[in-house]
Amino acid sequence: MKTDYQRPIDWRQGRVDLNHGAGGRAAAQLVDELFARAFDNEWLRQGDDGAALPAPPPGHRLVMATDGHVISPLFFPGGDIGGLAVHGTVNDVAMLGATPLYLAASFILEEGFALAELKTIVESMAAAAREAGVAIVTGDTKVVERGKGDGVFITTTGVGALPPGRAIGGANARPGDVVLLSGTIGEHGVAVLSQRESLEFETRIVSDTAALNGLVAAMLAAVPEGAVRTLRDPTRGGVATTLNEIARQSGVGLHLDEAAIPMQAQVAAACELLGLDPLYVANEGKLLAVAASEHAEALLAAMRAHPRGRDAAIIGRVVADERRFVQMTTRLGGRRIVDWLSGEQLPRIC
């Protein structure tokens, strides 16, 4: 690591400047003293522009996913853009039944952004990666002029290993299957909106942002291979949009039971106050599963035994329906269509 820098980085009062993205001495210093130090692992220590990684065991396939994060505000109750950038991509890889292994991270920084806040974000990413058991092995940093960004944008790309014979995807739901949800909905979207609009509720609502690969591993270990048909994290667009995606991919209909959908009372109250339908509010630490009905109770028990799934519930079932409708029986006994999200209910939410 270089030690001949002209001056130390001022982490308390310093700001990102264009030199930090110019590829020279200042850029190298920022990479060495912040990113490489926080994400430290054997591949980063090699100092190359890319990472040569061990191949997965024979018969395994690779899974890759990428996600851009442009959330506003950058810090919100329960998390920040750094942890969110790790969780989002780890979960996208895990939803295919793969074990997430590596991440690449790309940062777009705005000139003038506080180095202290950048350090907090990077350290949050490092902690989230360690907790998820993945290594951030390569990355990139660019700086745009003041006024042409919004502080920090982060893109993460993840790679995972998929065991032989495992086939989990959105096209696998079959009539007779059940739909499970890993926990309460709506916390992330409401937490971000409350921070953005400076809203105060009687009980603090915090984001559910979390890596779900541990929960997925526990679920898959509890039932035979093939019993879990589909996994999907209901992020932007919420539960409603995600279930419509599954119905379209699989060519089936879904029937939900509103009373079975878990939701915190304060989230329900906040959504009513703000005019939001919680079914469309983003989640960052929950998953939906479609599974064979004969294994549903075993799967539910495994989910409830894991900290990320203790409020899990069976919320519906898959039916034959060439129209591919998602319908819901309401708490009052009526029935309504749960349609796709129309427009952007909450922009810049993840």
The predicted pLDDT at position 7 comes to 81
Residue located via tokens 């799967």:
299
The reply to whether the predicted model has a pTM over 0.85 is yes
- The confidence score (pLDDT) of residue 4 equals 64
Instruction: Give me the pLDDT at residue 110, please.
Output: 98
Q: Tell me what pLDDT residue 343 has.
A: 74
Displacement of CA 4 from its chain's centroid (Å): 39
Contact criterion met (CB below 8 Å) for 46 and 116: no
| Fold type of domain 15-162 | 60s Ribosomal Protein L30; Chain: A; (3.30.1330)
User: Residue 171: what pLDDT?
Assistant: 98
Q: Which residues contact residue 64 at a Cβ distance below 8 angstroms, ignoring those fewer than 6 apart?
A: 93, 157, 158, 159, 160
At residue 6, the pLDDT reads 66
Position 346 scores a pLDDT of 78
Give residue 5's pLDDT.
Answer: 64
What angle do the packed helices 213-222 and 296-304 form, to 10 degrees?
A: 140
Reading the block at residue 76, the tokens are: 């919100």
At residue 345, the pLDDT reads 74
CATH 3.90.650.10-classified regions of the chain: 177-337
Task: Please name the residues in contact with 19: beta carbons below 8 A apart, sequence gap of 6 or more.
Answer: 25, 26, 27
Say what the pLDDT of residue 348 is: 87
Round to whole Å and give the CA distance between 344 and 241: 12
Give the residue carrying structure tokens 């950048």: 118
Q: Which CATH superfamily is domain 177-337 in?
A: PurM-like C-terminal domain (3.90.650.10)
What is the full DSSP assignment across 282-304? --SS--EEEE-GGGHHHHHHHHH
Q: What is the pLDDT along the chain (350 residues), one digit of tens a residue?
A: 555 666 889 999 999 999 998 888 999 999 999 999 999 999 999 989 999 999 999 999 999 999 999 999 999 999 999 999 999 999 999 999 999 999 999 999 999 999 999 999 999 999 999 999 999 999 999 999 999 999 999 999 999 999 999 999 999 999 999 999 999 999 999 999 988 888 777 778 999 999 999 999 999 999 999 999 999 999 999 999 999 999 999 999 999 999 999 999 999 999 998 899 999 999 999 999 999 999 999 999 999 999 999 999 999 999 999 999 999 999 999 999 999 987 777 788 88
Which residues is 319 bridged to in the sheet? 253
Cα–Cα dist 187/281, whole Å: 8
Nearest to residue 209, comparing CAs of 125, 286, 284? 284
In the chain, ranges of CATH 3.30.1330.10 domains: 15-162
